[in-house]
Chains A and B, each alone.
Chain A
Amino acid sequence: MLSCKQLVNEINDIDNLSFFKRAELRAHLLMCKHCSAYVKHLQYMRDGFKQLFSSITQTDPEQIKKIEEQVLKKFQDNGDKS
């Protein structure tokens, strides 16, 4: 029988696990409310980070354009020198 600690270690790598291993993890989760809580926390965090990321990375197209222009100008200037 899988221990809680093993579950926590293995669930991290869920995408690379075999079908049977995943079934074993799922069976443990059905019986264990602590590990279920842990897994839910991870889900909340994933969703939360997704939201946070999209909210802090709102950009203004004008600002991006300005940076692009500066970058290209620098490139041209250096090219002229060499």
Chain B
Amino acid sequence: MSAKTDLHFSSEEFITQLQQRQSDAISRLVQSYTEPLFKACLGLGFDGHSSEELVQRVWSTFFDVAPNFEGRSHIRTFLFGILYNKASEMRREEIKLAKSDPIAETMESRFSEVGHWTQPPIDPEQFLHQSQMNEIIKKCIDFLPLTQRMAFCLKEIDDKGSSDICKILEVSNTNLGVLLFRARNKLRECIEKKAKPGN
């Protein structure tokens, strides 16, 4: 996505066209964002068919609310926000950030009272061999709650800034930090378990 396209879509002129549901404006928008939205669905682990269905739902929700869109956040952020909601809906996932997450306990148990490692991380060479990396990450990433996985994906899609990610996931900056911390450590624990000799 070029910066120029993004800029165009945040212009007042464009937003007016959108509110009036001008089909020309709608076409340009659909042609610019369908692909990134579809990629995000695949990145979240939905198969091709579900991803297609999800993208359809995102656009149809968007068209319903478009006449009221005021452009307070960028249209791209807004679309990904809808995607996040629809994806959660689709997965019927209940794990929310506020709920306790077992990774917090795991992390506690890793350190002594003075904060030294009691169970040190394994040798990085053992942690991941290039050849098995994709496969193990793929398995482990499926264990992450949708919100955590979405944060990872958004970081990959044209490198969104964290304020954009916060808006999309509807979390504060601090909560995004907690969310990423948990996601990384959960993934690391899972990979370590699978990479340890004998597994």
For chain A, the count of residues having a C-beta within 8 Å of the partner chain is 40
Given A4-B111, A68-B34 in contact, is the A75-B43 Cβ separation under 8 Å? no
User: Are A41 and B127 neighbours in the complex by a CB distance under 8 Å?
Assistant: yes
Chain A at the B interface: SS class: helix
Chain A contacts for B110, CB-based, 8 A: 5
A20 to B124, CA, bound (A): 27
Q: Which residues from B are CB-within-8-Å of A12?
A: 177, 180-181, 184
Main DSSP-derived SS at the B contact region: helix
Residue of chain A at shortest CB distance from B153: A53
Please give me the 3 A-B residue pairs with the lowest Cβ-Cβ distance, nearest first.
A3-B115, A5-B115, A34-B120
Residues of B within 8 A of A (CB): 21, 23, 26-27, 30-31, 34-35, 38-39, 42-43, 45, 48, 52, 55-56, 59-60, 63, 107, 110-111, 114-117, 120-124, 127-128, 133-134, 137-138, 141, 152-153, 156, 177, 180-181, 184, 187-188, 191-192
A residues with CB within 8 A of B: 3-6, 8-9, 12-13, 34-35, 37-38, 40-42, 44-45, 48-57, 59, 63-64, 67-68, 70-72, 74-76, 78-79
